[in-house]
A and B are shown apart, each in its own frame.
Chain A
Amino acid sequence: NAGVMQNPRHLVRRRGQEARLRCSPMKGHSHVYWYRQLPEEGLKFMVYLQKENIIDESGMPKERFSAEFPKEGPSILRIQQVVRGDSAAYFCASSGQNTEAFFGQGTRLTVV
């Protein structure tokens, strides 16, 4: 019974490149949440998605960031034209309807 799977675990990008972070929710879960953790800080909510729908994106930066959760396949968090300030750990969590959220191990993005 695999948990929430995120890949890659570590990602290095040069400034201006694109970063794609993937999250496969736990089996049976249809809700996905993305959080960002800056160094020595807590996690900050970014976006909440259900299959094919963005439910709440109040924590997403207005530019360069997008997220999707297609009918088939993992959820993708996409960061275009990355800058040094995007360096962080990005965590995905999944849940069922009215159930606890389980977190993945995170993707640590480093922008050089």
Chain B
Amino acid sequence: GDSVTQMEGPVTLSEEAFLTINCTYTATGYPSLFWYVQYPGEGLQLLLKATKADDKGSNKGFEATYRKETTSFHLEKGSVQVSDSAVYFCALKFSQGAQKLVFGQGTRLTINP
């Protein structure tokens, strides 16, 4: 079945470091891909998305490029801040209308000052 695999956490970095969180997927067909962020005690917020191969999603300094050849959607940020500390989830969905998402297991990120 369809699945998403994320880089194991937790990840701890210093402020201003470069961030990469790996995400690969297995799916029959060409899904839309998403990154969600969950701050402590809160629900998930959509961070960015890409709907087709070679699309790049970006938001708040984060970027991810939909790579069909490697079935990947790695999240990157050039200079992280303490406020980026959260759990990050990679996800996919197929249906045009329905928002039935398949999530990875999440990666906990901690940024130290």
Contact = CB atoms under 8 A, between A and B. Distances in A.
Mostly helix, strand, loop or mixed at chain A's interface? strand
Contacts of A48: 98-100
A97 B103 contact: no
Given A41-B105, A41-B106, A42-B105, A105 B43 contact: yes
Contacts of B102: 45
A103 B103 contact: no
A43 B43 contact: no
Interface size class of B (residues with CB under 8 A): 20 to 34
A102 B4 CA distance: 20
Contacts of A56: 98, 100
Interface in A82-102: 91, 93, 95, 97-98, 100-102
A31 B79 CA distance: 37
A100 B98 contact: no
A91 B99 contact: no
Interface string A54-84: 0110000000000000000000000000000
Interface string B58-94: 0000000000000000000000000000000100000
B43 A106 contact: yes
Contacts of B99: 31, 33, 48, 93, 95, 100-101
A3 to B, nearest CB: 8
A103 B45 contact: yes
Contacts of A4: 43
A104 B103 contact: no
A27 interface: no
12 contacts: A6-B43, A42-B103, A42-B104, A45-B101, A48-B98, A56-B98, A95-B99, A101-B46, A103-B36, A103-B45, A105-B41, A106-B42
Given A98-B97, A100-B99, 12 more contacts: A4-B43, A6-B43, A31-B99, A33-B99, A33-B101, A42-B104, A43-B44, A43-B103, A48-B99, A100-B46, A103-B43, A105-B42
Interface of A: 4, 6, 31, 33, 35, 40-45, 48, 55-56, 91, 93, 95, 97-98, 100-106
